[in-house]
């Protein structure tokens, strides 16, 4: 078979492609996408199911597009970079100063719900990377943390907008929305809105195409390190999922966690022990879960798939592994390292959303576009925050020093409950007794009695079913025995 050949790109010794344009290449096979990667093209998005890939081309390289694909389309100029006519530094995206003002303002407006931004370490150029924690004063001393990050890649401000939107939604609606109240009463939502502050600052104004960090020193010279290829699980697994070339947009650095920014995120995450994370990127309309380093399922594939289906039920995003959705793999990225339990933290349910389909700066002059992709991501965030706490397994609970005293639900699977409605539940009971399982809606109304069964003292596993008449949605599952009770959340899909 004839090997497919692509023109070899000449690496440019500058950090940005100021005049770059994004070109969508249609009707590509997976082999052709891999050949583009191997040749050093900056693939900005791709869709394995629809068979296209977007590449960033310099203005002078646009005539290459016809050589790369039988059919192509030059995407709007603002997809690739900030337009000079905008009077604002980053259009309608929040620039670094506006971010800082927003998060400080949130803490001032909601002192009982939002902490003031706190530094978790410094970037290569000495800028603070900061976290904002949202939780209420109600509830347990320890609440399971859920981590949201954005701007690991400095040219992807869409994810930052989603974090700002979700933080506003949680605080504005805490007093009026059952789900916002439940999330802040039962979890600690942590936002790291700018993982790569040097690159983001560099993009302002009218740059816009710096993806990597600003460490140009190792090796000398380079154009920075791709922080999302610098994490310590399967770092450098192969040269497709990350690049050894210092000028490639996926250059992985000289060693795992060689970079200040990835070290800060590693140490912060290991200290926090989140149960779940959303590492926001743009663009493409995907929800990715592990493994990314190769296209094989994790032991939790069926859970990830059911969560993916539930989380994307309203926005229609593709969900799956990187290789399934994009057609290529990525090694040394945050989502694999987060899920992997061999580091300094327990396994967490980690996702990489790729927001919408408007390039990197597509909403710079269009607030309605930014608002629409914030809205389409909000439900994914809500769903994760409401369901991940029910998935803190027995092992993780014990590792946080929580011993069941009284009746205690350990884990529930599958969740969401799908198809026939059958599920299993592990339950710890202090003494041999009868246990009843009942289902309530979020307003506290009894929906169905599911089970009334005898259990032994200690841990046991119960099997039950959700009746067909129960409509899809989020419910509270209550286990009770005399005066004792415990609750968890259960999602029903049909």
- Residues serving a catalytic function are 354
In whole angstroms, the minimum distance from the beta carbon of 45 to Zn ion comes to 9
> What is the dihedral sign for C-alpha 193, 196, 201, 204?
negative
Pairing outcome for strands 145-149 and 276-279: parallel
Pick the closer one to Zn ion by CB: 152 or 481.
152
Of 90-98, 107-115, 275-283, 476-484: span binding Zn ion (CB under 5 A):
275-283
| Residue 252 binding Zn ion, by CB under 5 A | no
| Burial of 214 (C-beta count, 10 Å sphere; 0-12/13-18/19+) | buried
DSSP 77: G
Contact flags string 100-139 toward Zn ion, x per CB under 5 A: ----------------------------------------
Closest to 42 measured CA to CA, from 153, 148, 139: 153
Q: Which is nearer to Zn ion, 78 or 249 (CB)?
A: 249
* Binding footprint of Zn ion, residue count (CB under 5 A): 3
State the nearest-atom distance from the C-beta of 48 to Zn ion, in Å: 17
Nearest distance in Å: CB 288, Zn ion: 11
> Which of helix, strand or coil describes residue 334?
helix
Segment interacting with Zn ion (CB under 5 A) among 30-38, 72-80, 133-141, 274-282: 274-282
Residue closer to Zn ion by CB (options 156, 201) is 156
Least Å distance between CB 159 and Zn ion?
8
Q: How far is CA 388 from CA 4, 303, 379, in A?
A: 44, 11, 14
Residue 160 vs 408, nearer CB to Zn ion: 160
Torsion of CA 377, 381, 383, 385, to 10 degrees: 180
How big, in percent rounded to 5, are the helix, strand and coil portions of the chain?
Answer: 25, 25, 45
The enclosing H or E element of 96 equals helix 96-109
Paired tokens of 454:
């005898």
Residue the block writes with tokens 């994490």: 231
Tokens of 371: 């608002």
Question: Rounded CA gap, 225 and 291, in Å?
Answer: 22
Total residues found in the chain within this entry: 494
CB closer to Zn ion, 156 vs 260: 156
From 21, 143, 153, 252, residue interacting with Zn ion (rule: CB under 5 A) = 153
Find, among 445, 408, 364, 348, the residue nearest to 144 by Cα.
Answer: 348
C-alpha–C-alpha distance, residues 291 and 270, integer Å: 20
Least gap, CB of 403 to Zn ion (angstroms): 41
Q: How far is the CB of 355 from Zn ion (least distance, A)?
A: 10
Stretch that binds Zn ion, among 160-168, 277-285, 409-417, 432-440 (CB under 5 A): 277-285
Q: Which stretch binds Zn ion (CB under 5 A): 151-159, 302-310, 357-365, 443-451?
A: 151-159
CB of 249 to Zn ion, least distance (A): 10
Instruction: State the virtual CA torsion across 353, 355, 359, 360 in degrees, nearest 10.
Output: -80
Residues 52-81 that bind Zn ion (CB under 5 A): none
The beta-carbon contacts of 167-174 under 8 Å, at least 24 apart in sequence, are 167/103, 167/106, 167/114, 167/132, 167/134, 167/191, 168/106, 169/378, 170/113, 170/134, 171/106, 171/109, 171/110, 171/113, 171/114, 171/134, 174/110, 174/113, 174/136
Cis bond leading into 291, ω under 30°? yes
Which one of residues 281, 345, 347, 478 is an interface residue with Zn ion (CB under 5 A)? 281
Sole window of 124-132, 139-147, 156-164, 413-421 interacting with Zn ion (rule: CB under 5 A): 156-164
Stretch that binds Zn ion, among 37-45, 278-286, 415-423, 471-479 (CB under 5 A): 278-286
Q: Which is nearer to Zn ion, 281 or 321 (CB)?
A: 281
User: Least distance to Zn ion from the beta carbon of 36, Å?
Assistant: 17
Residue 344 C-beta-side C-alpha neighbours within 13 Å: 11
CA atoms 10, 15, 19, 24: torsion sign:
positive
Residues that bind Zn ion (CB under 5 A): 153, 156, 281
């Amino acid at each position: 078979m004839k090997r497919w050949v692509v023109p070899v790109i000449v690496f440019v010794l500058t950090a940005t492609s100021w005049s770059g344009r994004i070109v969508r290449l249609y009707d590509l096979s997976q082999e052709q996408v891999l050949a583009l990667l191997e040749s050093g093209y900056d693939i900005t998005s791709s869709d394995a199911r629809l068979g296209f890939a977007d590449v960033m081309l310099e203005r002078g390289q646009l005539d290459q597009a016809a050589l790369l694909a039988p059919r192509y389309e030059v995407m709007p100029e603002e997809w690739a970079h900030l337009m000079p006519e905008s009077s604002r530094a980053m259009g309608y995206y929040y620039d670094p100063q506006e971010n800082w003002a927003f998060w400080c303002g949130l803490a001032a407006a909601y002192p009982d719900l939002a902490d003031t931004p706190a530094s978790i370490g410094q970037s290569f150029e000495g800028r603070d990377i900061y976290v904002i924690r949202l939780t209420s004063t109600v509830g347990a001393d320890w609440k399971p943390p859920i981590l949201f990050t954005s701007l690991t890649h400095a040219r992807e401000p869409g994810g930052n907008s989603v974090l700002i939107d979700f933080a506003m939604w949680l605080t504005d609606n805490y007093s009026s929305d059952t789900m916002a109240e439940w999330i802040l009463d039962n979890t600690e939502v942590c936002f790291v809105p700018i993982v790569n502050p040097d690159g983001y600052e560099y993009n302002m104004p009218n740059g816009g195409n710096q993806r990597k960090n600003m460490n140009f020193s190792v090796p000398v010279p380079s154009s920075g390190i791709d922080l999302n290829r610098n994490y310590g699980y399967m770092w450098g697994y192969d040269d497709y999922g990350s690049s050894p070339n210092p000028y490639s947009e996926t250059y992985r650095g000289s060693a795992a966690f060689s970079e200040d920014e990835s070290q800060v995120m590693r140490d912060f995450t290991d200290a926090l022990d989140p149960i779940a994370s959303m590492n926001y990127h743009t663009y493409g309309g995907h929800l990715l879960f592990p493994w990314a380093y190769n296209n094989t399922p994790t032991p939790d594939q069926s859970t990830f798939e059911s969560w993916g289906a539930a989380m994307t039920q309203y926005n229609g995003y593709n969900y799956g592994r990187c290789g399934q959705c994009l057609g290529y793999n990525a090694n040394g990225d945050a989502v694999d390292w987060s899920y992997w339990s061999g580091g300094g933290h327990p396994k967490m349910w980690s996702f990489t959303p790729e927001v919408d389909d408007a390039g990197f700066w597509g909403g710079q002059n269009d607030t309605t576009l930014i608002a629409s992709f914030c809205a389409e991501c909000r439900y994914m965030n809500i769903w994760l925050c409401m369901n991940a706490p029910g998935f803190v397994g027995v092992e993780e609970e014990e590792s946080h020093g929580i011993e069941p005293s009284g009746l205690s639900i350990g884990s529930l699977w599958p969740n969401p409950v799908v198809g026939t409605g059958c599920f299993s539940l592990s339950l710890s009971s202090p003494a041999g007794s009868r246990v009843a399982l009942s289902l309530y809606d979020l307003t506290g109304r009894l929906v169905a009695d599911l089970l009334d069964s005898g259990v032994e003292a200690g841990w046991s596993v119960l099997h039950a079913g959700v009746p067909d008449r129960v409509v899809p949605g989020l419910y509270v599952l209550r286990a009770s025995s005399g005066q004792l009770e415990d609750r968890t959340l259960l999602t029903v899909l049909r």
